[in-house]
């Protein structure tokens, strides 16, 4: 099947050609015809399967075929996303797919001033992508009305539940008009999510692209058994020995993420952390730097990384493995996107072995065991000291990570003519050379916590 078989509006087909999409992904083949008929849809699919295009292409097509003037403070299509990162990504995809049309897209999420969002909405928009909390704030302030919504999309429903958005979602369900098309997506469909789906959907068609918690086929999974306190040395070894394009490193806690970054910096390896304690500005900067390849290592917690779509993530490293098997599937799904190959490496401490067994049972796969490298004891002994945690000296310039983040942010802000960052690192970009991360030799400077970009 090809995209032209759907008979989508010519302006959408043009955008697909520009993005060099030739064949629809399985979720797109299944969902697009049903949605073009105006049916409700329950999609069981994880990020990385192409579900954003699956729901946005037919919706754009509907709006183009049924033009209607914008109503002040209203929107025709509402997409709810659990995280700001995913919301920004969905909005960017809608802009990409609608770039040859006049349809407007706005994003609203918390953590940034509300006034600009109120202004953006004042004339009304065609597509609004929002996180639930800020959406309801705007409704309460009468800056947004939902009585014109014709298409409602609830994305990553299981994550919404994990993040405690259930009450907000129930409220949204009450405000939405009765007559509308509903699309509901979730990576998993346990009973409570199915119950939530029932509240939104009317006689839906269900499509599922991968059996629940199936591990992406193209990912090579490896596991090394190692003591918790020796994991940092193993990480440095992996970064030195693997051909890494971009790696996402997962830790279980926010402090754990910061600690890994400090250790890497101590060894002269540049990395950013992304987690819930970081400001929106820091998170955006870190993601942009990662997308553009300026920083090749991003250390993340699960919540912060959910939905991140960065092409060219060659490795996912589980510094700690998750205690929920589905989370493992989500994590390793960050690599091997849209047909690319990927490698997932898990460091498993003795007390994590039961988690690994659960993961293997649920995914029905077995990761290939890889022994600790020769001379590992030596590597542990010679591990450079971590960089000092940033001190609150009141002087912004003292903290090198912050200095670097500020510099990157300024650069990003000052370069509007370059267009969206995502494109710079995305489909049309030159493939980047793979590199190894080489810590500085001798480690003298590294012991002082000097920061140097390597790779
Ligand atoms: P999603 O699951 O919507 O986050 O999409 C994952 C990635 O696949 C995104 O980078 C999309 O740009 C890409 N993608 C989606 N559909 C296609 C397609 N039909 N052909 C090639 N790439 C696609």
Write out the chain's pLDDT in tens, 455 residues.
899 999 999 999 999 999 999 899 999 999 999 999 999 999 998 777 889 999 999 999 999 999 999 999 999 999 999 988 899 999 999 999 999 999 999 999 998 999 999 999 999 999 999 999 999 999 999 999 999 999 999 999 988 887 789 999 999 999 999 999 999 999 888 888 899 999 999 999 999 886 444 455 668 899 999 999 999 999 999 999 998 989 999 999 989 999 999 999 999 999 999 887 888 788 888 888 998 889 999 999 887 776 566 777 889 999 999 988 878 888 887 776 555 678 999 999 999 999 999 888 877 788 999 999 999 999 999 999 898 776 654 444 444 555 555 565 455 433 333 333 322 222 223 334 445 555 443 333 333 333 333 22
Verify that 241 and 143 share a domain, yes or no: no
pLDDT, position 455:
28
Final residue of a domain: which of 381, 397, 416?
Answer: 381
Q: Is residue 426 part of a domain?
A: no
Decide: 25 in ligand 1 pocket, CB within 6 A: yes
Distance 418 CA to ligand 1 centre (A): 22
The Cβ of residue 215 has, within 10 Å, a number of other Cβ atoms equal to 22
Domain of 10, CATH number, reads 3.40.50.300
Verify that 279 and 362 share a domain, yes or no: yes
Verify that 262 and 239 share a domain, yes or no: yes
Strands 75-80 and 105-108: unpaired
Verify that 167 and 233 share a domain, yes or no: no
Verify that 230 and 100 share a domain, yes or no: no
Burial 346-357 (b: 16+ CB within 10 A, else e): bbbbeebeebbe
Distance 437 CA to ligand 1 centre (A): 29
Final residue of a domain: which of 360, 381, 402?
Answer: 381
pLDDT, position 98:
97
Distance 91 CA to ligand 1 centre (A): 14
Verify that 226 and 134 share a domain, yes or no: no
pLDDT, position 361:
82
CA distance 90 to 107: 9
CA distance 254 to 266: 19
Rounded to the nearest 10 degrees, how much is the dihedral formed by the CA atoms of 377, 379, 382, 384?
Answer: -140
Decide: 335 in ligand 1 pocket, CB within 6 A: no
Verify that 176 and 234 share a domain, yes or no: no
pLDDT, position 425:
27
Q: Is residue 427 part of a domain?
A: no
Hey, whose CA ends up nearest to atom 17 of ligand 1? Answer: 50
Q: Is residue 355 part of a domain?
A: yes
Verify that 97 and 14 share a domain, yes or no: yes
Beta carbons within 8 Å of 164's beta carbon, 6+ residues apart:
none
Decide: 53 in ligand 1 pocket, CB within 6 A: yes
CA distance 6 to 443: 59
Verify that 151 and 179 share a domain, yes or no: yes
CA distance 34 to 317: 38
Hey, whose CA ends up nearest to atom 20 of ligand 1? Answer: 21
Pocket test of ligand 1: the residue of 53, 95, 422 to mutate, having most ligand atoms within 8 Å of its CB, is: 53
- Give the number of the atom of ligand 1 that is nearest the alpha carbon of residue 426: 10
Hey, whose CA ends up nearest to atom 19 of ligand 1? Answer: 24
Q: Is residue 396 part of a domain?
A: no
Using alpha carbons, list the distances in angstroms from residue 202 to 10, 40, 179: 30, 6, 10
Q: Is residue 73 part of a domain?
A: yes
Range of the domain at 348: 219-381
Q: Is residue 455 part of a domain?
A: no
Pocket test of ligand 1: the residue of 19, 22, 25, 90 to mutate, having most ligand atoms within 8 Å of its CB, is: 25
Distance 215 CA to ligand 1 centre (A): 18
Distance 294 CA to ligand 1 centre (A): 23
Is the whole model's pTM more than 0.75, yes or no?
no
Verify that 128 and 58 share a domain, yes or no: yes
Decide: 49 in ligand 1 pocket, CB within 6 A: yes
pLDDT, position 402:
56
pLDDT, position 417:
32
pLDDT, position 454:
29
Handedness of CA 312, 90, 111, 160 (dihedral sign): negative
Q: Is residue 225 part of a domain?
A: yes
Decide: 333 in ligand 1 pocket, CB within 6 A: no
Q: Is residue 242 part of a domain?
A: yes
Cα of first residue to Cα of last residue in the chain, in angstroms, is 41
Verify that 242 and 143 share a domain, yes or no: no
Verify that 191 and 43 share a domain, yes or no: yes
Decide: 330 in ligand 1 pocket, CB within 6 A: no
Final residue of a domain: which of 357, 381, 405?
Answer: 381
Hey, whose CA ends up nearest to atom 16 of ligand 1? Answer: 50
Decide: 338 in ligand 1 pocket, CB within 6 A: yes
Pocket test of ligand 1: the residue of 50, 59, 129 to mutate, having most ligand atoms within 8 Å of its CB, is: 50
CA distance 201 to 34: 14
When divided into structural domains, the chain yields a total of 2
């Amino acid at each position: 099947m090809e995209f032209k078989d759907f008979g989508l509006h010519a302006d959408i087909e043009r955008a697909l050609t520009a993005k060099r999409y030739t064949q629809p992904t399985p979720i797109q083949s299944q969902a697009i015809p049903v949605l073009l008929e105006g049916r409700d849809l329950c999609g069981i699919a994880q990020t990385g399967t192409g579900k954003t295009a699956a729901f946005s292409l037919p919706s754009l097509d509907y709006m183009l075929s049924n033009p209607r003037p914008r109503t002040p403070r209203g929107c025709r299509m509402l997409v709810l996303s659990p995280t700001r990162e995913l919301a920004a990504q969905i909005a960017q995809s809608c802009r990409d797919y609608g770039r040859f049309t006049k349809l407007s897209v706005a994003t609203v999420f918390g953590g940034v001033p509300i006034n600009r969002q109120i202004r953006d909405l004042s004339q009304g928009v065609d597509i609004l992508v929002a996180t639930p909390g800020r959406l309801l704030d705007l409704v309460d302030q009468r800056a947004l009305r939902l009585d014109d919504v014709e298409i409602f999309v609830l994305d990553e429903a299981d994550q919404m539940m994990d993040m405690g958005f259930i009450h907000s979602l129930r409220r949204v369900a009450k405000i939405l008009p009765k007559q509308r098309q509903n699309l509901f997506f979730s990576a998993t469909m346990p009973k409570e999510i199915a119950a939530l789906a029932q509240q939104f959907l009317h006689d839906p068609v269900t499509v599922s692209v991968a059996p629940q918690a199936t591990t992406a086929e193209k990912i090579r999974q490896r596991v090394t058994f190692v003591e918790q306190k020796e994991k940092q040395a193993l990480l440095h070894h992996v970064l030195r020995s693997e051909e890494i394009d971009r790696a996402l490193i997962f830790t279980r806690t926010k402090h754990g993420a910061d600690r890994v970054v400090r250790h890497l910096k101590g060894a002269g390896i540049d990395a950013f952390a992304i987690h819930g304690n970081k400001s929106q500005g820091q998170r955006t900067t870190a993601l942009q730097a990662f997308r553009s390849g300026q920083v090749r290592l991003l250390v993340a917690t699960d919540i912060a990384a959910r939905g991140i779509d960065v092409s060219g993530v060659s490795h996912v490293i589980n510094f700690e493995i998750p205690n929920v098997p589905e989370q493992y599937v989500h994590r390793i799904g960050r690599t091997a996107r849209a047909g690319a190959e990927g490698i997932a490496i898990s460091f498993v401490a003795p007390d994590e072995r039961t988690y690994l067994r659960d993961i293997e049972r649920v995914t029905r796969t077995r990761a290939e065991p890889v022994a600790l490298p020769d001379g590992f004891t030596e590597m542990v002994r010679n591990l450079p000291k971590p960089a000092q945690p940033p001190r609150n000296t009141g002087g912004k310039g003292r903290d090198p990570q912050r200095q670097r983040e500020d510099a990157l942010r300024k650069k990003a802000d000052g370069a509007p003519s370059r267009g969206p960052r995502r494109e710079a690192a995305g489909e049309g970009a030159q493939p980047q050379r793979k590199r190894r991360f080489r810590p500085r030799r001798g480690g003298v400077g590294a012991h002082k916590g000097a920061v140097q970009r390597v790779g």
